[in-house]
Structure 1
Amino acid sequence: MDEFEVDYDKNVTGLYSSISNSEWDQALIEVKERPEEARTWVVRFHPNSDSIMWRFLPIHSACAKDPPEIVLNALVNAYRRGAQCFDDQGMLPLHYACGNQASLEVIRLLLLANPEGSSVADPHGMLPLHYLAQWGPSSIQALDVILFANRDAPFARDSEGSTPLELAQHGEYPERDEVVEVLQKIPEPPTELPIRSPVARREKKYETQKEEGNDAISRLRAAAAAQEKTREEYTSRDSQQNDNRDDESVLGALPRIAQAMSSSLDNDNSPFPTRSLNYANRSIEETPTLDSNTDAKKMVSELKLEVEKLRAEATLAEADAEKTINEERNKMQTALDEMKANLAKSVEEKQESASHLAEREEYGKLVESRLEDKENQLNAGMKKNETLRKDLDTVKKDISTYKSKTSTLDEHLNTLSKTMEGMMKEQEHIMKASIRHEEHMKKVAIVRQQKMQELIDQEVLFAKNSLEKQKQNELGSEEMINEAMEKQQKLMAAVASVLSESRQN
């Protein structure tokens, strides 16, 4: 499966961007729609340089942010090999997960995708257990999972010589005491580990006895060669041929015995261990030199005894081997029973895990349906936003029109203001003129009153004079006098009304 690479500052993928912002719902949508982004490396370079600052897959970044199980499961399904990939710092996603208190489910998924990950050290010699011990697990069960995956991890040392227990003792997190207690209960392995497997113990014993047997065979062959040389010397003597006939049968059998033992020891598939020979430590120099027929007979008798002894030891070895095989068979049966029990337990756990996985799948489907609803709502919201954007553009145009009209009105208002200022000035001039006119009219009224008073006085005087003249001339009668008086009163009333009006004005 091909891998891709993008620049973080130029063309970062949507999946990586969502993971960087911990937008897990959006990350699920991205990995579902574009699964190839799960195998796309994201690289960031130093400013003004071609040197790499960091280089991650999306799964590396996700494990550093305590992702939900459903997100990590989607990343693993999209690119399973990503769990086995090292970033530019030589670290696996499991290192980041253990260093950032990822959940038990996340760590379990990473171990299923990369079972050897728990045994892989980073460039500083730190296993995932070192990270878990230094920064703390999300739960003590996460520690149990790592210990189950790698039972030798508690005794591994990083480049500074620290074990996970030593890092945990200096840690600062709530579960520190529990982690220390768990790590302290794990017994340290012996300097030389015992061979636990029955088959391995049997093979080890067989190898040891084979080495001892080979040494003994080499010595037997040397002794047989010396005896053959001596036999040839004695066969030249006719007088001693009959006496040495029995000796020759035994001496001739020595090479065959040695050959048979050699072939038996060289057969690596033999299920029976070989017993150590008692004379394996006997050196060739200790083999006696036969200078006479008596010595040869003595040697033959010794060899006969040795052969009988070997036969007895072979019988004992066979019985011992049968006993050992029975013991090993019983132990293997016990181990097989334990394995069956463990297998049954594992099957039960797998069934529970399958049930849990089914629940997770149902939950995933529910989340997908919710995401689909959210996506529909988002699309509806986007359409609504588009409509609102169009309405906003229309409102902006109306506002622009209103602004232009307002500008025109401002100009009219300025013109009106100037006109009003002119009118105010004219009104001020009119008021001043009115005041002057009123003062003038008051003066005129006073003059009129004076003249009217003069006229009245003259009229009264004239009337008196007329009456006097009438009296003098005896022209009028009493009725005429009354009539004249009435006319005079009417005239006086008219003059009084004129004076009243002039005062009001």
Structure 2
Amino acid sequence: MGIFRQNNNASAALPDLISHEDWKLVLMECKMCPRDATKWSVQDGFFDGEITSKVLPIHQACALMAPREVIETLVKCYPQGIKMKESAFHRTALHIACQTNAPIETIEALVHFYPEATRIQDALGRLPIHYACAHEVPSSTLELLLREFPESCKIGDQNGWLPLHVACRRGVSLYELELLLDCYPQSANTLTDKGSSPLMCAQKGNSRHHEEMVQYLEDYIKRSEQNEKDLLSFDTWEPAHKLSTIHHRNVAAKGA
């Protein structure tokens, strides 16, 4: 997310105040002119300082990690705004907040007002949790997203990347890695559309977490494979055991 410039003089007041991160004045402006929260503006370089998008004030506020009070005020001024998507990548406010590593209090407010946002994919097929995994959010944020929509761990983007692939490529703590694997154990062996496993993604990373992530994934996969072998051995042994028991019972019955 890069620095962006407002480019619509018709509704400049609130966007300008947000762009300067003057949150007290933003709250005052919302109180005096609540309708300003409903106005769209074109923001040059809204994404990565390069991609222009048409956004609402709530999108802009989330991009600048506004405090919870600001988000709650914008939602009260325009409840539908939290459901709206910006024009470039069709992302909701929750997508943007996760992408910019907004405070957990802000994420909590967004999920509280619109929990369905955790289920919405953007133009790239990504859920908010994909962006959370890509930007080293606090564990509490990941826990919240998983608690609200556990099935998110099974959903890949348009290139088949699960949240686990993203987390392994960008680097997360072992605790966060465990959260994702506990939610969907099969994801450890799931491949992207181009054939990359989570382990391969981790091996390509270079963050402070990657070395321990690689070791953890290798051990996790070995344990999973051993568990499958043990189950297979049990499955093949059990019928034979049952047949043997039935055979002895039949022999005993004939002898009687």
TM range (shorter): 0.5 to 0.7
2:177 alignment partner, one of 134, 137, 143: 143
**Residues 159 and 37 of structure 1, relative CA distance in 2, 3 Å threshold:** same
Q: What is residue 18 of structure 1 aligned with on the other side? A: 61
Q: Relative contact order (alpha carbons < 8 A, sep ≥ 6): 1 or 2 greater?
A: 2
Deviation at 1:314, TM superposition (A): 6.8
CA drift at 1:180: 1.7
Counterpart of 1:176 in structure 2 is 210
Q: Does residue 134 of the first structure (1) align with residue 146 of the second (2)?
A: no
| Correspondences of 1:289-328 after superposition (within 5 Å) | 312-313=250-251, 315=253
Q: State the TM-score, normalized to the length of structure 1.
A: 0.36
Q: Find the counterpart in structure 1 of residue 112 from structure 2.
A: 77
Structure 1: any 5+ residue segments left out of the alignment?
Answer: 45-53, 210-272, 279-308, 317-505
Larger radius of gyration: 1
| 5+ residue gaps, structure 2 | 1-37, 44-53
Per the normalisation by structure 2, the TM-score is 0.67
Give the match's secondary structure for 1:73: helix
- The 1:314/1:151 distance shift into structure 2, 3 A limit, reads farther
Structure 2 residue 75 is the aligned partner of structure 1 residue 42:
no
- Tell me by how many angstroms 1:165 deviates: 1.6
Selected match of 2:141 from 75, 100, 106: 106
Deviation at 1:35, TM superposition (A): 3.6
Partners in 2 of 1:180 and 1:34 — Cα distance?
45
Q: What SS is found at the alignment partner of 1:9?
A: strand
Shift of 1:34: 3.7
| Cα distance, 1:158 vs structure 2 | 1.4
Instruction: Spell out the pairing of 1:270-289 with structure 2 (5 A cutoff).
Output: none
Equivalent pair of 1:15/1:30 in contact (CA under 8 Å): yes
Query: Offset at 1:127?
Result: 1.2
| Contact 1:31–1:74 (Cα < 8 Å) also in 2 | no
Distance 1:103 1:192, change over 3 A: closer
2:161 is paired with a residue of what secondary structure? coil
SS at match of 2:87: strand
Report how far residue 7 of structure 1 moved.
6.1
Q: Is the Cα–Cα contact under 8 Å of residues 107 and 142 in structure 1 kept in the other structure?
A: yes
Does the residue aligned with 1:55 lie in a helix, a strand or coil?
coil
Give the whole-Å Cα distance in 1 for the aligned partners of 2:129 and 2:166.
10
CA contact (8 A) 2:139 2:176 kept: yes
The alignment status of 1:124 with 2:159, answered yes or no, reads yes
SS in 2 for 1:193: helix
Range 169-178 or range 110-119, more displaced: 169-178
C-alpha distance 111-18 of structure 1, shift in aligned 2 (>3 A): same
Aligned length: 203
Identity %: 23
Contact 2:42 2:55 in 1 (8 A): yes
> Does structure 1 conserve the Cα–Cα contact (< 8 Å) formed by 2:67 and 2:105?
no
Contact 2:94 2:128 in 1 (8 A): yes
In the other structure, the counterpart of 1:9 is 42
Residues 482-493 of structure 1: pairs in structure 2 closer than 5 A: none
Q: Is the Cα contact below 8 Å between 1:16 and 1:58 reproduced in 2?
A: yes
RMSD: 3.5
2:195 is aligned to 161
CA separation of 1:36/1:150 partners in 2, compared to 1, >3 Å: closer, same or farther?
same
The structure with the greater share of residues assigned to helix is: 1
Contact 1:66–1:100 (CA under 8 A) maintained in structure 2: yes
SS of 2:214's equivalent?
Answer: helix
Query: How big is each residue's C-alpha offset from its partner over 1:153-186, in whole Å with a ceiling of 9 and x where there is no partner?
Result: 2222212222222221221212222212221221
